[in-house]
Amino acid sequence: MLIPILAVVCGLILLVWSADRFVEGSASVAGYFGMPPLLIGMLIVGFGTSAPEMVVSSLSAAQGNPGIALGNAYGSNITNIALIIGLTALISPITVHSQVLKKELPILTLVTVLAAWQLWDGQISRFDAVMLLLCFAALVAWAIWQGMRKKGDSLGLQMEQELDQRDKPLGWSLFWLFIGLLLLVASSRLLVWGAVEIAHGFGVSDLIIGLTIIAVGTSLPELASSIIATRKGEHDIALGNVLGSNLFNTLAVVGIAGTIHPLTIPPEVLSRDLSTMFILTLSLFVICYGFKGRTGQVNRVEGAILLAVFLGYSAYLIASVILP
């Protein structure tokens, strides 16, 4: 059992490191060929921070472990809201002053309702998966169109500054692009193998492993980027990063996994995990909305409540294993 545990630990560390190298190389290559900074931020960096979830879920589905694929996607969404926003707000309260959030939150809620509707019959067929991917493509196209209409976009300006700071040769960028992608796949395979072995060894379902260890591990890039953005005063980026990641997980990650192999849904996913994800998404409306003309803010008290919800949810999952 020691080897699978080491495989999970080493896989997670290598997964996060390789995802960062992949993002850096991709952004540098895109900047070298003149891609607009906003496009780099929304597509490459957005894709890169969610690449761990996508690769892990795809490999899990291909290897016949749908529990890891689903647990990773929905568990990451719960982790993003409860752990990442909660912990980030405890470090520094997150000011919500972007009008974009008023569009993204309703969209995320509708996407969550779509996910619940698809899960109702106990499976995600290839047709369901293609629907998710088409919705994701439409949202990406709409977001790019909206972003291009607005000048001075904070995400675009941030990416422009970072690309100026990097200014790396094309050969260097291509090297880390391919090395990052190669290690991303290799570390994901190592992580999935270790997780499956641990699940079998302890008699735990791969769904629980996906909802806990893998979900938290693959969400580390979002945690790091949100904390860094908040400390720099880029609150919109910190919160938008989480909302964008949840959209990516619900639509693209589950969609790609379901396209590779249709997914059978355990009943507890709908009653426990998806319900928790939906309640947390709705809670963001109350937390982020500025009442009586005041600017919305995720303060430290609300951050502590979100963090407590995450700890309580995790404790419930662990208790369901220890005390079935």
Cβ atoms of 249 and 50 within 8 Å: the answer is yes
Mind listing the pLDDT tens digit of every residue in the chain (324 residues)? 788 889 888 988 887 787 777 767 766 776 666 655 555 555 665 666 677 788 888 888 888 888 888 888 999 999 999 999 999 888 888 877 656 566 778 888 899 999 989 988 888 999 999 999 999 999 888 877 766 665 544 444 444 554 444 556 777 777 877 887 788 778 877 888 888 888 778 788 888 888 888 888 878 777 877 777 777 676 666 777 788 788 889 999 999 999 998 988 888 888 899 999 999 998 887 887 766 556 678 889 999 999 999 999 999 998 887 765
3-state secondary structure of 264: strand
Q: Which domain holds residue 260?
A: 2-322
CA angle centred on 194, ends 50 and 63, rounded to 5°: 70
Alpha helices in 92-125 (DSSP H): 101-119
In CATH, what number is assigned to the domain containing residue 121? 1.20.1420.30
Which stretches of the chain are DSSP H helices?
2-32, 37-39, 46-62, 66-78, 86-91, 101-119, 126-149, 154-166, 170-202, 206-209, 215-218, 220-231, 235-247, 254-260, 267-268, 275-288, 300-322
Going by C-beta distance under 8 Å and a sequence separation of 6 or more, which residues neighbour residue 29? 170, 173, 174, 177
**Per residue in 256-269, is it b (16+ CB within 10 Å) or e — as a string?**
bbbbbbbbebbeeb
Rounded Cα gap, residues 57 and 71, in angstroms: 9
- Output the CA–CA distances (angstroms, integers) from residue 279 to 78, 165, 251, 309, in the order listed: 10, 40, 18, 11
Per-residue pLDDT, 18: 79
What's this model's pTM, rounded to 2 decimal places? 0.81
The predicted structure's pLDDT at residue 62:
86
Q: For position 163, what pLDDT does the model report?
A: 47
Instruction: Tell me the chain's radius of gyration from C-alpha atoms.
Output: 19
Tokens 């997914």 — which residue? 263
State the pLDDT at residue 45.
58
Element (H, E) at 95: strand 94-96
3-state secondary structure of 296: strand
For 277, what's the count of Cα atoms within 13 Å in the CB-facing half-sphere?
Answer: 33
d(CA 296, CA 247): 22
What are the φ and ψ backbone dihedral angles of 323, each rounded to 5 degrees?
-120, 70
Give me the number of domains the chain comprises.
Answer: 1
